[in-house]
Structures are given as structure tokens and as C-alpha cells.
Amino acid sequence: LSTWSAVPAGPPDPILGITEAFKADKDPRRINLGVGAYRDEDGKPYVLNAVKKAEERISAAKLDKEYLPITGLPGFTSNAAKLAYGADSVPRNQNAIAVTQSISGTGALRIGGAFLARHYPHSKTIYVPSPTWGNHIPLFKDSGLEVKYYRYFDKKTVGLDFEGLKEDLQNAPEGSIVLLHACAHNPTGVDPTQSQWKDISDFVAEKKLFPFFDMAYQGFASGSTDRDAFAVRYFVSQGHQIALSQSFAKNMGLYGERVGAFSLTTANEEERKRVDSQLKIIVRPMYSNPPLHGAHIANTILSDPELYQEWEGEVKGMADRIINMRERLYQLLSNDFRTPGEWSHVKSQIGMFSFTGLNKEQCKVLAEKAHIYMTMDGRISMAGLNGRNIEYFAKSVDAAVR
């Protein structure tokens, strides 16, 4: 008998499974709206010019391949914190932000989960929005936290269930951890307004909840890295101590390079040093130290004014293309085809994804009859749409809902 004969087959990953089905479909009209990676107007992956130029500089500099420190490339972590918290952030200027490089956003969340499970004194429960990015749940469970939910999405309005969110967070035990999507909520594309963020900050403070921000899309949502960092910076300005996960997968298109950062704001430099030492103790037995190349790319861009400016333009270009696709899809459904239902949420949602409101049956029909692949919750990646396929997509949605 084999040692592994009792290992049961697990279910396929719900999102990566869609890419498999898409690849197997040879119809020329096929569209993959499952995966959350940017595609250009030709439906192709896009390597940013700022990234290409940074790579040329790195190659010309003939750097060595020595190990990075446990918490990563110091210039990179410092610039990543500056990007998120802002140049004039108080804890940043007090040297009170503990930050480590991470294996993209997922790795940052995982370090954060492990740190909170080990050192957060008040609770081992993290409240995540319902719904949330599917990986949050196993990720925090595997980190040693208990996962609970707060209401977030209102199916009726296809918008934010602010009252539900407020009630659930106000009823959470004092000291609980709460996971907040900093911008471009995945999968719904629905974000609180700035005034709602201010209310959330108030009742998070009242209930002494600990805010853990997941910022996977800074700049990608609105086109402005400052605007998308509003919630994070506002909470810090109100005196919250926060945890923050950052990813450079989407905003620099560095998906497979795995570039990210995890940070905690602390009371002062002395406390920051103690926290830093514990971050090292968490990272060292996990993967020893992070990869080199992607951090150099991101740091080259973040530290050079000319490349930084080019990058900002390219982030805005990606965000604007997506915003245009939203406008066009809304026009097609609501004006051209007069598709039954209310479609303004397609326009008002933000970031990579749109929660269309299509049900499981309709999603299945779209895959089987129209060769259009999306997650069964009706989420589409707006980046998969372009000038050539958007009409076919809208027409297929129209047929599926009639």
C-alpha cells in the first residue's frame, strides 16, 4: 500500500480552474474573465514600460545574486511604506513603521496572520467581509486565526450593505481583528465612500477593533495612488495602529515576480525595533529571505523620479482603460440592447472586478453557449474586456438574462 493511499483528492482552485477550462476551449470567440490580471486593448498581458526600463538599468548595473536580509531590500521596504502611508505620515517620520518585504500580497497577509496569531494580545478572531477574496479564508485559518464574517454586499442594490457592516462590526467582541480591503474590493468592486470610511474609523475605534488593511490595488482603482490610499492614511491620521498588506502585482504588473510588503505601525522607534525582531523570527523559518529581482524592479521605479512619473502614467492608463470598459458595457446593456435589469453598478463599481449580479445558471450558460468564462458568483475581470470583444460579451449577457 502506498504511503499516500488515504490522501483524498481536493477540489480544484475555483479561479485557476476557470483558466484551465478557457485554455481547453478552442472557439475563436472565447473570453477569459476569470483571472485578476490586467490585459491590454489586444487582450494581451502587459509589461509596463517603467518595468522594462528598470530591468535594463538593473541588468546594466550587473548586480550580484547574494541573499537579501530576512526582511528584504531596505530601500524597497522604505519606499513601499512611503507609497502607502504618504511622505508626511507621522509614524513614518518617527521611524515607527515596522515593514518587511513579502512574497507579494498573499505572503504579506500570511506574515500578518502569523504575527497577529502570535503577538496580538486581545483576540484570535479576524472578521472578513462577506464576500471576500476567496484566499483570505484558508490563509487566515492556516495562520492560526479564527475567521468570522461581517456583512458587506447587498444583493438587492448590488452595492455596499453599510448598515449591515456597521451592525456586525459593532456587535463583534471588543478587540477583534477586522480585515478591510483598502480599495477596489475583490470580488464586488464596491468600496465605502470617504465619508463611510470616516464612520468605519469611528466605530472601529469605539469597539477597539484592530484594523488589518489589504491593499492589493493601490493606484489601480482610481488611477491615483494617493486617492486609493485614502482609507489607510485616514485611519493612521486618526491614531489607529494598523497592519497593512501591499502588493505590487497589479499596480506594477509584477504578478509572477511576487513583490509585496507587510507593515505594522508602532508607538515609537524602540517598539518598532522589537516588532521588527519578531517579524524576522516569523519569516526566517518560513522562507528565510525574499526574492531579489522583483524588489529591485519596484525599488528602481519608486526611487527614480523619472521612472516614477512614467509608472504613475501607466497605472492611470490601466485604470482608465478599465473605467472606459465599464462605461461602454453599461451603455451596451442599458441603452443599445435594453437588457432587462438595472446595470448602473457596472459603472459605479471600481477596480479590476465587477460583480455583475449574474447568477450561477446564467454564468454556466455563458460558459457553455458563449465560451465566456467567469467565476460562478458572477464576478468578471473588467480587464478581460476590450474594444473587440465587449459587444459580443454584452450581447451574450443579454441573451443569458432574457
Q: Which residues bind ligand PLP (CB under 6 A)?
A: 36, 104-106, 133, 181, 186, 214, 216, 247, 249, 255, 260
Q: Which three cell numbers stand for residue 18?
A: 476557470
Q: Which three cell numbers stand for residue 82?
A: 512611503
Closest CA to 136 of 125, 144, 147, 124: 147
The distance of closest approach from Cβ of residue 104 to ligand PLP in the complex, given in angstroms and rounded to an integer, is 3
Tell me the backbone φ, ψ of residue 327, rounded to 5 degrees: -60, -45
Computed on alpha carbons and rounded to an integer, the radius of gyration of the chain in Å comes to 21
Cβ distance to ligand PLP smaller for residue 128 or 366: 128
Q: Are strands 159-160 and 153-154 parallel, antiparallel or unpaired?
A: antiparallel
Q: Are strands 97-103 and 259-265 parallel, antiparallel or unpaired?
A: antiparallel
Catalytic positions, please? 133, 214, 250
Q: Are 234 and 251 in contact (CB under 8 A)?
A: no
The distance of closest approach from Cβ of residue 214 to ligand PLP in the complex, given in angstroms and rounded to an integer, is 5
Cβ distance to ligand PLP smaller for residue 266 or 299: 299
The distance of closest approach from Cβ of residue 216 to ligand PLP in the complex, given in angstroms and rounded to an integer, is 4
The distance of closest approach from Cβ of residue 235 to ligand PLP in the complex, given in angstroms and rounded to an integer, is 17
Residue nearest to ligand PLP (CB): 105
Q: Which three cell numbers stand for residue 238?
A: 486618526
Q: Are 349 and 189 in contact (CB under 8 A)?
A: yes
DSSP string for 310-336: HHHHHHHHHHHHHHHHHHHHHHIIIII
Cβ distance to ligand PLP smaller for residue 110 or 371: 110
3-state helix, strand, coil in the chain (%, to 5): 50, 15, 40
Cβ distance to ligand PLP smaller for residue 101 or 186: 186
Q: Which three cell numbers stand for residue 377?
A: 458568483
Cβ distance to ligand PLP smaller for residue 184 or 292: 184
Q: Which three cell numbers stand for residue 31?
A: 473570453
- 303 Cβ contact partners less than 8 Å away, ≥ 6 residues apart: 75, 79
Cβ distance to ligand PLP smaller for residue 251 or 396: 251
Cβ distance to ligand PLP smaller for residue 96 or 229: 229
- What is the rounded CA–CA span in Å between residue 260 and residue 310? 20
The distance of closest approach from Cβ of residue 5 to ligand PLP in the complex, given in angstroms and rounded to an integer, is 33
Task: Give 256's DSSP letter.
Answer: G
Length of the chain equals 402
Place of cell 476557470: 18
Q: Which three cell numbers stand for residue 224?
A: 491615483
The distance of closest approach from Cβ of residue 102 to ligand PLP in the complex, given in angstroms and rounded to an integer, is 9
Residue 288: CB atoms within 10 Å: 10
Q: Are strands 372-373 and 31-32 parallel, antiparallel or unpaired?
A: parallel
The distance of closest approach from Cβ of residue 36 to ligand PLP in the complex, given in angstroms and rounded to an integer, is 5
